[in-house]
């Protein structure tokens, strides 16, 4: 008898009817550092590990105000939560600096013009302009928002440096490209106590393996827009702190291993 190879046999057809199949879900590679629903960081009242958080207050006119999902400002300056836990300095601080250009044009030396430090809860610990010793040739106002009048009666570099140095002692320092900020302050900090969002390897997936900008990380992970016009060192410090809070165990592990 000639077999028809194009039709299944009766036995095979009966077997197929009798068997039941379970759908096997496709395996997908999971990055242990990147969490699901990461773009919803500012939803659900910014609740992270039991702390309902309020971020991004702006105490200077001209700074952008971020909007919540309801299109209202996330927080007004006068509405900041005032309690001991949230306003004390604590063990974790985030730092960001704004610079201006001094010296000859061909050298493009940058010096400190403003520094902001916030605590774990985003409350401002230090926010001050700094008077440069040298003549400023470019205030970079279009980026920093800093003008000549801001620096005219500002504290000296030495005074601010001393305050920052005291604040850094025995604390975890959070920031984005922290080395640049420490260099302009002429300060150092133990490597194991630095949490740098620009060097955290899983974040590089957002920039094709290159160093990601803070603006991109804020948009991709926190679902917020920063640095839309001029920069705010308070805003940038808060964004870095919030990124760290989302990945605290992972970033702490990496820093501990680096020692």
Domain positions in the chain = 88-258
Q: Name the pLDDT band for 242 (thresholds 50, 70, 90).
A: very high
pTM of this prediction exceeds 0.85: no
Name the packing angle between helices 248-258 and 233-246 (round to 10°).
90
Q: What is the pLDDT of residue 106?
A: 63
Mean pLDDT, rounded, for 134-144: 89
Q: What is the pLDDT of residue 227?
A: 83
Task: Decide if pLDDT at 24 tops 90.
Answer: no
The domain made up of 88-258 has a fold known as Nucleotidyltransferase; domain 5 (3.30.420)
What distance in Å separates the CA atoms of residue 95 and residue 88, rounded to the nearest whole number?
Answer: 16
Residue 16 has pLDDT above 80, yes or no: no
């Amino acid at each position: 008898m000639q077999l028809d190879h194009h039709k299944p046999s009766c036995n095979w057809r009966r077997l197929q009817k009798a068997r039941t199949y379970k759908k096997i879900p496709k395996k997908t590679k999971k990055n242990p550092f990147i969490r699901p629903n990461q773009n919803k960081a500012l939803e659900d009242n910014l609740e992270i590990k039991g702390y309902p958080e309020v971020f991004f207050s702006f105490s200077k006119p001209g700074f952008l105000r971020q909007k919540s999902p309801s299109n209202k400002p996330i927080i007004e300056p006068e509405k900041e939560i005032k309690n001991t836990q949230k306003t004390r300095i604590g063990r974790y601080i985030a730092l960001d600096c704004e610079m201006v250009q001094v010296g000859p044009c061909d050298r493009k030396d940058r010096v400190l013009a403003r520094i902001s430090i916030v605590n774990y809860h985003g409350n401002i610990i230090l926010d001050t302009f700094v008077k440069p010793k040298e003549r400023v040739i470019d205030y970079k106002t279009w980026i920093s928002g800093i003008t000549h009048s801001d620096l005219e009666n500002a504290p000296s570099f030495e005074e601010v440096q001393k305050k920052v140095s005291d604040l850094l002692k025995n604390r975890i320092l959070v920031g984005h490209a922290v080395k640049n900020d420490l260099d302009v302050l002429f300060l150092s900090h133990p490597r194991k106590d630095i949490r740098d969002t620009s060097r955290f390897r899983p974040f590089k997936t957002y920039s094709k393996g290159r160093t990601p900008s803070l603006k991109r990380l804020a948009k991709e992970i926190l679902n917020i827009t920063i640095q839309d016009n001029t920069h705010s060192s308070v805003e940038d410090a808060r964004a870095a702190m919030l990124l760290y809070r989302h990945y605290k165990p992972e970033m702490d592990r990496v820093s501990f291993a680096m020692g």
